[in-house]
Amino acid sequence: MNNIYELDHPLIEHKLAILRDKNTGTKEFRELIGEIATLLCYEAMRDVKLKSCEIETPITKMKTHKFDENDYAFIPILRAGLGMLDGVKNVIPNAKIGHIGMYRDEETFEPVNYFFKVPKDIEKKTVFLLDPMLATGGSAIDAIDLLKEKGVKNIRFLCIISAPEGIKAVSEKHPDVPIYTAHIDKKLNENKYIVPGLGDAGDRIFGTK
């Protein structure tokens, strides 16, 4: 699958080791999610097309290149995706922000949609879909479906930890959507949790368990 980008860097490995540790507290966990999200967004922006412009430094005028931050939107999948938001906003501070609300049915393991609010002209923007965990891929697929129904053509999915099963499911349903992940883990267990994973990202971000 050519649309999968796994970050391979000692700094990522170091931060993931602390993030996975069950003894890592809520404050540090939140900070690490944001830091890794920043690095993921940095990588996902590698092929951005820049426009020529002229600026004036304190020394002289010069020709350089920029991109329009208004052409981008961040869409966290609630609630865990919110943990990545501050990190990606560090990269594109003026990007617009929307929200997609989903939760996993504990019996069927299927995603349930309950909220959808996106910026105006979302179909004209490059959308970064945010969710720390790509497990079964159900939530990601449903979220991408909703965005495509709104006319969005350029979607990039950013996640901290992913399972092979989720990557396969999303890639088969949406092969045009690149996936940027800090690490691809071994598998899903019988409860559809990623192994070795880091537990429930939402609960650890918000301290609800």
Three-state DSSP class for 26? helix
Helix%, strand%, coil% for the chain, nearest 5: 35, 30, 35
Catalytic site residue from 145, 200, 204, 208: 200
Catalytic site residue from 26, 176, 203, 208: 203
Catalytic site residue from 20, 71, 86, 104: 104
Q: Give a three-class secondary structure readout of 43-54.
A: HHCCCCCCEEEE
- Determine whether 68 is an active site residue: no
What pairs with residue 127 in β-bridges? 73, 155
Query: Going by C-beta distance under 8 Å and a sequence separation of 6 or more, which residues neighbour residue 166?
Result: 134, 135, 136, 137, 140, 188
Other CB atoms within 10 A of residue 105 CB: 10
- Give yes or no for a contact between 33 and 18, defined as CB atoms under 8 angstroms apart: no
- Determine whether 104 is an active site residue: yes
Catalytic site residue from 47, 108, 121, 136: 108
Three-state DSSP class for 183? strand
Q: Give the residue numbers annotated as catalytic, written as ranges.
A: 104, 108, 200, 203
